[in-house]
């Protein structure tokens, strides 16, 4: 091998190492669940938490309705336990999906194995997602309208026209992460049967429990208040 070819080969190898290193850094640089979320990993007296192949199953006293949730990008899936433990406690069993590399676009069809599981016998299925997770949940909903009774978006928007699917969209007034211009344009994709709820003082991060998110606005209400309002609207949407 001549000298020029060796130099080119060394450059290619170096670039591969750099790209691989940056990729590894990217997927491991994510928002971790805080102590309040981790404290719920073992469940409560009324809601059990079971580890399943692609996430967590929150089994509460309800038997009729279930919700499958796609987390936001680079957010640890267990961060959403406080919100969905409350929802399960009030009658809607929940599945929080653990996405590959904490990126929902790598697991768009994650809901398939849950809905198809014969151990779960629900009359109604809903899919939901936060931020990028909501966009990916909408992709799934568009292609599985016969299996779902509704889509719930938290600080998110749909990827395409949702037809006649019922949609609940919730976001906070202090959310500086959600692209409001894109969101407003997307409302025409879900205007057939849209319920919109705006949380006064809510921000982007407080749907989960993972601390302050870069670029987000500062909430003027507590995280508990934002979660309570969110859960109330979801319950009204489902029931």
How many independent structural domains does the chain possess? 1
**Cα dihedral 114, 119, 125, 128 sign:** negative
**Cα dihedral 68, 47, 119, 103 sign:** positive
Residue 19 falls inside a structural domain: no
**In this structure, what token pair is assigned to residue 129?**
């997602």
Residue 26 falls inside a structural domain: no
Residue 8 falls inside a structural domain: no
Q: How many CB atoms lie within 10 A of CB 170?
A: 25
Residue 200 falls inside a structural domain: yes
Residue 204 falls inside a structural domain: yes
Q: Are 117 and 89 in contact (CB under 8 A)?
A: no
pLDDT along the chain (239 residues), means of 10: 53 49 55 97 97 97 98 98 98 98 96 95 97 97 95 96 95 97 94 93 98 97 98 97
Domain carrying residue 81: 31-238
Looking at residue 192, what is its pLDDT? 80
Looking at residue 143, what is its pLDDT? 94
Running DSSP on this structure, what letter comes out for residue 75? B
Looking at residue 12, what is its pLDDT? 57
Looking at residue 191, what is its pLDDT? 77
Residue 220 falls inside a structural domain: yes
Looking at residue 26, what is its pLDDT? 52
Q: In what order do the strands lie in the sheet with 194-199?
A: 48-52, 55-59, 92-97, 65-70, 124-130, 150-154, 167-172, 194-199
Q: Are 95 and 52 in contact (CB under 8 A)?
A: yes
Residue 14 falls inside a structural domain: no
pTM for this model (two decimals): 0.90
CATH classification at residue 215: 3.40.50.1820
Residue 13 falls inside a structural domain: no
């Amino acid at each position: 091998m001549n000298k020029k070819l060796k130099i080119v080969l060394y450059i290619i190898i170096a670039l591969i190492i750099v790209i691989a290193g940056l990729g590894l850094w990217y997927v491991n640089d994510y928002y971790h669940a805080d102590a309040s979320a981790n404290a719920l990993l073992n469940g409560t007296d009324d809601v059990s938490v079971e580890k399943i192949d692609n996430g967590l199953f929150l089994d509460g006293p309800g038997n009729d309705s279930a919700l499958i949730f796609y987390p936001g990008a680079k957010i640890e899936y267990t961060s959403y336990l406080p919100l969905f433990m409350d929802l399960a406690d009030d009658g809607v069993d929940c599945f929080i999906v653990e996405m590959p590399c904490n990126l929902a676009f790598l697991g768009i069809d994650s809901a398939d194995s849950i809905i198809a599981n014969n151990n779960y016998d629900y009359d109604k299925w809903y899919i939901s997602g936060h931020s990028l997770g909501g966009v990916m949940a909408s992709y799934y909903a568009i292609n599985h309208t016969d299996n779902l009774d509704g889509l719930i978006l938290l600080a998110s928007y749909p990827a395409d026209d949702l037809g006649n699917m019922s949609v609940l969209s919730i976001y906070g007034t202090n959310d500086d992460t959600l692209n409001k211009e894109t969101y407003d344009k997307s409302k025409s994709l879900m205007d057939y049967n849209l319920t919109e709820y705006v949380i006064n003082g809510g921000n982007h991060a407080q749907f989960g429990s993972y601390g302050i998110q870069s670029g987000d606005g500062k909430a003027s209400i507590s995280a508990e208040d934002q979660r309570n309002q969110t859960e109330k609207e979801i319950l009204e949407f489902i029931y």
